Structure 1
Amino acid sequence: MTNDTQTPPTPATGPDEPGKRPRRLSSVPLFTQPPHPSPPARARATRGALPPRPGEPLPEPPLPPLPAHLVEAVEAVEVDWSLVARLRQRASEQIARAEHADGTPSDRADQKQRGLAIVIDLVTSANTERVDAGSPAWEPAHLHALTKAVRDSLFGLGRLQPLVDRPDVENIEIAGHDHVRLQLLDGSYEAGPPVADSDEELVDFLVFLASRSETSARSFSPAQPNLDLRLDGGARLAATAWVSTRPQVTIRLHRLVDVTLDDLAANGTLTDVQASFLRAAVRARKSIVVSGAQGAGKTTLMRALCGEIPYEESIGTFETEYELFLHEMPDRHAMVRHFEARPGAGEVGPDGRPAGEYSIDQLLRNSYRQNLSRQIVGEVRGAEVWAMLEAMESGSGSLSTTHATDAENAIHKLVTCAMKAGPGITPDLATRKLAQAIDLIVHVDLDLTVGTGAGAGAAGQARPRRTVSEIIAVNRGEQAPGYAVTHVFRSDGAGPGLPHVLPQEYRALARYGFDLDAFLRAGRGEVA
């Protein structure tokens, strides 16, 4: 006979019930510690090689396949840019009519797919009209080049797109539509082609580009003559017009995003001992400022330092324009909350801020409920130094960059930035706050040498050499100037800095992997 009687479930017992053992918190699911996630295998990546992530612009739809033997022919085609402008206008009108007929606006991906089909049809029609008028038909290479130019003008960077697409170009410098210079990855320069038919056309395109951006639309006008823009795809554009005789534009292309301290040691930017010291400093949550001239490689070193943050930590980045791209490296960082400031585009309100502005200060303040392990304020050029100080004073180990001629001068530069916040900020106050918050300043020296040997740039051209020439420890000072510095590493004038004097408290970095013996063996390293 089957017993259908079921044993009733045992009621949960509380810790105060007599005769019952209290339950351990670890047995309650809420308090059970999950195993630490292991970072997936690293894959070295360059900017643009990563798959699109949520919220990022989708890649351009591909053009019809081109036979390999025509690739060089396409690059040699001289495109009629006046025709490109006319076809772009027609394509834009057709896309607008199609969306109006659908009754609902399409998303960006649909626009690009529909736009490419329209562009191909328009180019084919233009070729037919050309033949009907008695002219020879365009060769396949010409058709491909024209189609790409119209597509780039419609959805990309127009005449700038071929320059941005070149893998050997690191920076694009423009001083007027027909004065273009390209800085290559090896540090050499070459002249670039005109990027517009006139300065007015270049400015008009920049205005269009600023308003069209999918990710960070900005205003660019005589009332706001400076433009800092993150382009779709990650490059950074800085432009100025109306306050100079010709429009000035610089585009920085972030080619290598995933870089490590070991990589920089291998290419001579720093030594193995410096890498060991900096790696341990990051892991010990020291607050670090990276200083250097424009183009010295501050952001590259910053990415390498951030790469030493343990994988499982939750990181927050706060930037005026995205440059670190830590959020695009899930194999390096498990959780990155990335924030980008938004400049105002309207009239100044009662609070003294332009309408629509959302500053780094506001971003940082509102991040305190995001459960962040570290707050990283990117580049400091002005009053955002106070956001940097706030992040560093939390004691979690922050990092920032600034422009300066040497490590100690970075303190003076940051004092100047702090005083921009208002007349109530005195040099003494700013110096005292900086001396309390900053642990280390790492200076990247940019040296221009001329050479034609192996590894040099083009013959007779200056080739930049980047080295970590100084690492100083910062402490509060009892007397003027209000701070004290110790040169942990100092260059002898050639190459990266050598071990110099290690403050006693930094011996503890050995617990985090610092090779103290190597420091003492190398050069004249000593402990204070």
Structure 2
Amino acid sequence: MSRFSLVRSAPAPTPAALAAPPPVAPPAARVESKPKSPARDAGLDLRLRLHAKLIEELDLAKLDKLDEAELRRQVLGQVTEFARIERMALNARELEALGASIYDEMVGLGPIEPLLKDDSINDILINGPYQVYIERRGELELTPIRFRDNDHLLRIVNRIVAAVGRRIDESQPMVDARLPDGSRVNAAIPPVAIDGCSVSIRKFSKKPLTLEKLVEFGAMTQSMSDFLYGAVRSRVSTVISGGTGSGKTTLLNALSSAISEGERLITIEDAAELQLQQPHVVRMETRPPNIEGKGEIRQRELVKNALRMRPDRVILGEVRSEEAFDMLQAMNTGHEGSMATIHSNNPREAISRLEQMVAMGGLNIGADAVRHQIAAAVGLVVQVMRLSDGKRKVTHVTEITGMEGQVVQMQDIFVFNRTHTGPDGEVFGEFRATGLRPRCLDEMIRRGIPYDTANFDPSKVLG
């Protein structure tokens, strides 16, 4: 054992010591609604025992000085030695897989690390230690992956939130965080989560989807993509509306490719997940209160501060509250082309939600004045939807044209009409233009951005 440079000098563990499982407290009584603990997984127990033994044996003070390849080599060497002592009949591939799982347990996210590396998985949903679901191609699947117990899962959750300077405990049992690749994490622990830790991970592609890819996947047509590209490039302020998991952030990332590289962008998010494609981006993130209930920094304070940082455009990951007013102010005062996402089911509802969020600020502003602000600030509302078959579609591209009386006037430019559903649940439909010519087309022409007006013909199916 002394031949490993990171191992403290200590007597070699005996097979009996490794085989003996750690003492486990008797499980508390569960109510009928809770999932029952499955039978013990011998492989999981072995990995956890080896992990505990490695933590005892390795000199943790030296771990930070090693690169990933060297640390993996050291872990694999230790696993090989333990397998020899245990007389485990493992071939080279099985030893390598066991070493990788132990490494993931030490510095990664344990059992779910392989799921994070699988690019075909969109969401990882953990309902307590014994139930892990994934979403792949719009369908939920139950996986055989599990954690040993709730403490094992809680250790992984703490590793996630500590990496971004946040905390989760009984006094603050819910948290939003992110992984190094930008994937969004939401976690809730007891006493809020009754059946153990609940974790939802929304993964993001390592390579952000482009407009071309969205067209290829059928989320929109090429003519719609060209129009949105031209509108963003000509500094039309845009709100992307949709439900949870509909693809709002993905579309926002894709539309950012239309922004000139010479512009200064400031992004503001609760948990940083945007992957803009420009070189001049300043990223800002909210901060929750500390253990004393102080130090909270909300989106509204960040928007106000961003306006003092000489931005060309301000991009909000999601508008949720009173920061909506400051966003509208920015769009009306020299920061045209700013963008944001909002939760709503259709473009008209998105406008109503903006009104409600401005009212949340407690400002003494009449409803008519707020609507005039919205009509003057927002140029386009792009509605995205996740259909029943799991596919994402841009269902409306809607232009705000001004006020008529006390009503914000809107006109649809492109729509997706669902026609029927196939026997296997696949949704069919067609993209069409409404025949209305958008007002922002004149600005696109003035800026030298060509667009074929034949795409506005309502008699033909687009794409």
Match of 1:189 among 125, 140, 145: 140
> Following the alignment from structure 2 to structure 1, what is the Cα–Cα distance between the partners of residues 440 and 130?
56
Identity of aligned residues (%): 28
The answer as to 2:440 corresponding to 1:491 is no
In terms of Rg, which structure is larger?
1
Read off the aligned partner of 1:285 and give its amino acid letter.
R
Q: Superposition pairs for residues 17-36 of structure 1, below 5 Å? A: none
Asked if 1:98 corresponds to 2:61, the answer is yes
Aligned AA for 1:377? L
**CA pair 510-140 structure 1, distance change in 2 beyond 3 A:** same
Cα separation, 1, equivalents of 2:449 and 2:60: 64
1: CA distance, partners of 2:72 / 2:288: 33
Q: Cα distance, 1:367 vs. partner?
A: 3.5
The structural deviation recorded for 1:497 is: 4.5
Residue aligning to 1:174: 126
Q: Does 1:409 align with 2:349?
A: yes
Cα separation, 2, equivalents of 1:79 and 1:421: 55
Preserved CA contact (<8 Å) 2:433 2:457: no
Query: Would the alpha carbon gap of residues 504 and 285 (structure 1) be closer, same or farther in structure 2, given more than 3 Å must change?
Result: closer
Residues 268 and 496 in structure 1, CA contact (< 8 A), matched pair in contact too: no
Hey, what does 2:193 align to over in structure 1? 244
Pairing 1:269–2:236 present = no
C-alpha change, 1:109 and 1:97, in structure 2 (3 Å) is: closer
The equivalences for 1:99-114 within 5 A come to 99=62, 108=64, 110=66, 112=68
Contact 1:280 1:510 in 2 (8 A): no
Q: 1:393-444 CA distances to partner (integer Å, 9 max, x unpaired)?
A: 3333101111111111111222333333347576555444333321110101
Q: Aligned to 1:442, which of 376, 379, 382? A: 382
1:89 paired residue number: 52
1:220-231 matches, within 5 Å, as 220-231=168-179
SS of 2:390 mapped into structure 1: strand
Corresponding residue for residue 282 of structure 2: 337
Say yes or no: does 1:165 pair with 2:117: yes
Q: Is contact 1:259-1:303 (8 Å) kept?
A: yes
1:149 deviates by 1.2
Amino acid at match of 2:96: H
Q: Residue 232 of structure 1 aligns with which residue?
A: 180
Structure-to-structure mapping, 1:343-492, within 5 angstroms: 343-348=288-293, 354-355=294-295, 357-368=296-307, 370-396=309-335, 397-422=337-362, 430-448=370-388, 463-480=389-406, 482-492=407-417
TM-score by length of 1: 0.70
Cα distance in 2 for partners of 1:311, 1:179 equals 45
Give the residue type in structure 2 aligned to 1:338. Answer: R
1:508 paired with 2:443, answer yes
Paired residues of 1:318 and 1:376 also in contact (CA < 8 A):
yes
Structure 1 residue 93 displacement after superposition: 4.6
Distance 1:495 1:95, change over 3 A: farther
Measure the CA separation in 2 of the matches of 1:347 and 1:497.
Answer: 55
SS in 2 for 1:190: strand
The two structures, once aligned, show a CA RMSD in angstroms of 2.8
- 1:149 lines up with 2:149 in the alignment: no
In structure 1, the gaps of 5 or more residues are: 1-77, 100-105, 349-353, 449-462
| Alpha-carbon distance, 1:89 to partner | 3.3
- What SS is found at the alignment partner of 2:430? coil
- 2:133 maps to a residue whose letter is R
Contact 2:303 2:323 in 1 (8 A): no
Distance in 2 (CA, whole Å) between partners of 1:416 and 1:206 is 34
CA shift, 1:169, in A, is: 1.2
Q: Residue type of the partner of 1:278?
A: L
Larger displacement relative to structure 2 (301-310 or 175-184): 175-184
Instruction: Tell me, yes or no, if the aligned pair for 2:76 and 2:96 is still in contact at 8 Å.
Output: no
**1:199 and 2:150 equivalent?**
yes
Amino acid at match of 2:437: L
Q: Once the 2 structures are TM-superposed, how far is the Cα of residue 168 of structure 1 from its aligned partner?
A: 1.7
Q: d(CA) in 2 for partners of 1:372 and 1:169?
A: 36
Instruction: Give the aligned partner of residue 259 of structure 1.
Output: 209
- Judging changes above 3 Å, is the alpha-carbon distance between structure 1 residues 139 and 392 closer, same or farther for their aligned structure 2 residues? same
Deviation at 1:86, TM superposition (A): 3.3
Amino acid at match of 2:431: P
Q: Provide the rounded CA distance (Å) in 2 between the counterparts of 1:509 and 1:188.
A: 40
CA distance in 2, matches of 1:388, 1:479: 24
Cα distance in structure 2, aligned partners of 1:477 and 1:502: 18
Structure 1: distance between partners of 2:71 and 2:323: 41
Query: Once the 2 structures are TM-superposed, how far is the Cα of residue 109 of structure 1 from its aligned partner?
Result: 5.8
Match status 1:312 vs 2:312: no
Structure 2: unaligned runs, 5 residues or longer: 1-40, 419-428
Change (3 A) 1:119 1:270: same
Distance 1:190 1:524, change over 3 A: closer
* Whole-angstrom distance in 2 between the partners of 1:383 and 1:90: 51
| AA partner of residue 272 (structure 2) | Y
Matches of 2:153 and 2:138, distance apart in 1: 26
| Residues 54-69 of structure 1: pairs in structure 2 closer than 5 A | none
Instruction: Determine the C-alpha separation between the residues in 1 that align with 2:363 and 2:292.
Output: 23
Q: Deviations over 1:144-184 (max 9, x none)?
A: 12211111111111011011112221111222222222111
